[in-house]
């Protein structure tokens, strides 16, 4: 029985939330292992829309355990707000269903403020962050001055850690003409929410080890996508954590052997939020049509996503870097009605053909896509739940993608609804 890691193979927003929710029916445990509340997941279940940013997608499934691993950076105020929101929608969130790694780093108001101060100062060179403090929180974690979730249970330790953090942050703020952070006020605000957070705290690594030894099925839920990975993505236009499957073990306190199958969530076209290179972008009527049909607006930011054709070079590279065993091809229905589709099968750089996505920022911006045109389809694929319901030209498009990315399609998604999914290969199968 394989434990499954679900990761994005593009720039995020591939539809991981729906696929994780669908797979979680087969799982006992769902684990978030990186990122923070900058990564939004939208689930549509029986006509009800749930928008999650920090809670694992399995939280909407009764009887499932959801875990926030040590690799996640947690804004405790945002977490409590999200818990209150889904509770009002009828989802039970209690310590029997949600556990938080005591060694997970916290996002503080000062991180959000620093994030926005930097973006404002960067002008046209801004990265395009969500402004939620993710990057500064990871900086503090690596700089060994982070406040961790478990510190909320130890006031004397918390006060000491605040002092250490403010030595750094108030010096930074002075250089940016920002007022210093009041350590006592920060301590009081954290202690005010500590009683609500403390019941969820646990040694997640130990719980996961026990669950795995007991034969429970574990689903590791990634955020963002491979091309936003801090090492393997379009640096510096990336997030501040590793988003590839290798992080699933590190960010939850498990060894690499804990994961048996890696499923890459892959949109049938390509989107990106914010700044950075995008070789197949269609800044034209085609891009606008994809965005309108796909409702391409960020779950967290509300920003419109940039849209373009499928980039097989980028996805193939993400598959190799992330050890992806199969993909879930999502939003296939958005392509309904296009007379002709395009797939990027390679690039040209300075007139020379290349078959990889460059690591250099200037080369990423300079590559030109090599296109292959494929016949589209007029019939609707929306809601299809079997291969037999798909038009022949749709199947041809899917098969061509498989050939180009050198990886099989394990799942197909044909609408946001949970059950509008075609299972080709069960990732949990031995």
Q: How far apart are CA 428 and CA 380, in angstroms?
A: 30
Mean pLDDT of the chain: 93
Provide the token pair at 164.
Answer: 């250490």
Instruction: Output 419 or 163, whichever has higher pLDDT.
Output: 163
Determine the pLDDT at residue 2. 76
pLDDT score of 146 more than 90: yes
419: Cβ–Cβ under 8 A, 6 or more apart, which residues?
Answer: 22, 385
**Catalytic (active site) residue 295:** no
Among the listed residues 13, 75, 115, 325, the single catalytic one is 13
* E strand or H helix at 5: strand 4-8
CA R_g for the chain: 22
Q: How many angstroms separate the CA atoms of 163 and 145, rounded?
A: 9
Q: How high is the pLDDT of residue 318? A: 98
- By the 10 Å C-beta count (0-12 exposed, 13-18 middle, 19+ buried), 399 is classed as exposed
Give per-residue burial for 134-156: e unless 16+ CB within 10 Å, then b.
bbbbbebbeeebbbbbbbbeeee
**Beta carbons of 37 and 299 less than 8 angstroms apart:** no
Contacts of 370 by beta carbon, 8 Å cutoff, 6+ apart: 344, 345, 346, 347, 348, 353
Q: How do residues 206-241 score in pLDDT, each as one tens digit?
A: 999 999 999 999 999 998 999 999 999 999 999 999
- For residue range 81-135, what is the model confidence (pLDDT) as tens digits? 999 999 999 999 999 999 999 999 999 999 999 988 887 776 665 666 677 899 9
Higher-confidence residue: 115 or 162? 162
Cα dihedral across residues 353, 367, 266, 55: positive or negative: positive
Note if 156 is an active site residue: no
Checking if the pLDDT of 166 tops 80, the result is yes
- pLDDT above 90 (res 173): yes
Query: How far apart, in whole angstroms, are the C-alpha atoms of residue 223 and residue 37?
Result: 10
Lowest-pLDDT range of 39-48, 63-72, 269-278: 39-48
The pLDDT of residue 204: 98
Class of domain 266-423: alpha beta
Instruction: Report the 3 state secondary structure along 226-250.
Output: HHHCCCCCCCCCCCCCCCCCHHHHH
Does an H or E element contain 196, and which? Answer: helix 183-197
Return the structure tokens found at 191: 């202690």
Domains of the chain: which residue ranges? 4-102+202-261, 105-197, 266-423
What separation in angstroms does the CA of 312 have from each of 345, 370, 405? 6, 10, 6
Asked if residue 16 has pLDDT above 80, the reply is yes
CA gap 421, 424 in Å, rounded: 10
CATH number of 4-102+202-261, picked from 3.40.50.2000, 3.50.50.60, 3.40.440.10, 1.10.3720.10: 3.40.440.10
Q: What is the pLDDT of residue 299?
A: 62
Beta strands in 15-172 (DSSP E): 29-32, 41-45, 48-52, 65-68, 73-74, 98-101, 105-106
Higher pLDDT, 19 or 105: 105
Q: Which residue is associated with the tokens 């000062």? A: 110
Catalytic choice (41, 111, 169, 232): 41
The alpha helices in 279-375, defined as continuous H runs, are: 285-293, 312-322, 361-366
Question: 66-93 in b/e burial notation, b at 16+ Cβ within 10 A?
Answer: bbbbbbbbbbbbbbeebbebbeeeebeb
Average pLDDT, integer, range 40-48: 78
Assign a CATH topology to domain 105-197: Adenylosuccinate Synthetase, subunit A; domain 2 (1.10.300)
Provide the whole-model pTM.
Answer: 0.93
pLDDT tens digits, residue range 281-292? Answer: 999 999 999 999
Long-range contacts of 384-391 (CB under 8 A, 24+ apart): 384/333, 384/412, 384/414, 384/420, 384/422, 385/414, 385/419, 385/420, 385/421, 385/422, 386/422, 387/422, 387/424, 390/422
| Model confidence pLDDT, tens digit, residues 320-333 | 999 999 999 999 99
**Segment (H or E) for 409:** strand 409-413
Structure confidence at residue 49 as a pLDDT band (50, 70, 90): confident
Average confidence (pLDDT) over 172-191: 95
Q: How far apart are CA 184 and CA 237, in angstroms?
A: 35
Structure-token match 């279940």, residue found: 45
pLDDT at 155 over 90: yes
23 sits in which H/E element: helix 16-24
Residue of 197, 208, 220 lying closest to 56 (CA atoms): 220
Q: What are phi and psi of 304, to 5 degrees?
A: -65, 140
Q: What percent of the chain has pLDDT over 70?
A: 97
* Closest C-alpha among 96, 123, 311 to residue 225: 311
């Amino acid at each position: 029985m394989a434990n499954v890691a679900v990761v994005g193979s593009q720039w995020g927003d591939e539809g991981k939330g729906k696929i994780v929710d669908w797979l979680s029916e087969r799982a006992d445990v769902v684990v978030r292992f990186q990122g923070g509340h900058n990564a939004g997941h939208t689930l549509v279940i029986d006509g009800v829309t749930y928008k999650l940013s920090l809670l694992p997608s399995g939280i909407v499934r009764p009887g499932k355990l959801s875990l926030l691993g040590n690799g996640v950076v947690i804004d405790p105020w945002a977490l409590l707000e999200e818990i209150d929101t889904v509770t009002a929608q009828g989802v039970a969130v209690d310590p029997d269903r949600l556990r938080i790694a005591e060694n997970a780093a916290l996002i503080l108001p000062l991180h959000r403020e620093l994030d926005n101060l930097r973006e404002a100062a960067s002008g046209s060179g801004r990265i395009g962050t969500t402004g939620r403090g993710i990057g500064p929180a990871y900086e503090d974690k690596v700089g060994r001055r982070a406040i961790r979730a478990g510190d909320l249970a130890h006031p004397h330790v918390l006060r000491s850690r605040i002092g250490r953090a403010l030595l750094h942050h108030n010096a930074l703020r002075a250089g940016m003409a920002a007022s210093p952070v009041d350590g006592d006020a920060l301590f009081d605000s954290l202690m005010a929410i500590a009683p609500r957070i403390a019941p969820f705290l646990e040694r997640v690594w130990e719980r996961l080890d026990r669950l795995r030894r007991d034969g429970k099925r574990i689903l590791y839920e990634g955020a963002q996508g491979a091309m936003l990975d801090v090492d393997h993505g379009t640096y510096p236009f990336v997030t501040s954590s590793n988003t590839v499957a290798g992080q699933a073990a590190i960010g939850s306190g498990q060894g690499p052997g804990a994961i048996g199958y890696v499923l890459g969530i892959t949109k049938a076209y390509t989107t990106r939020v914010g700044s950075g290179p995008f070789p197949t972008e269609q800044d034209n009527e085609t891009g606008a049509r994809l965005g309108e049909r796909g409702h391409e607006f960020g779950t967290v930011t509300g920003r419109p996503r940039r849209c373009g054709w499928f980039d097989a070079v980028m996805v193939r590279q993400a598959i190799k870097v992330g050890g992806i065993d199969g993909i879930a091809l999502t939003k296939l229905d958005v392509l309904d009605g296009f007379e002709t589709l395009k797939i990027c099968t390679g690039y040209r750089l300075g007139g020379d053909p290349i078959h990889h996505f460059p690591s250099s920022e200037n080369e990423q911006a300079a590559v030109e896509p090599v296109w292959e045109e494929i016949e589209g389809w007029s019939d609707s694929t929306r809601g299809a739940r079997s291969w037999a319901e798909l038009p022949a030209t749709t199947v041809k498009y899917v098969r061509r993608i498989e050939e180009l990315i050198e990886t099989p399609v394990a799942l197909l998604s044909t609408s946001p609804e949970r059950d509008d999914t075609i299972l080709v290969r069960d990732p949990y199968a031995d």
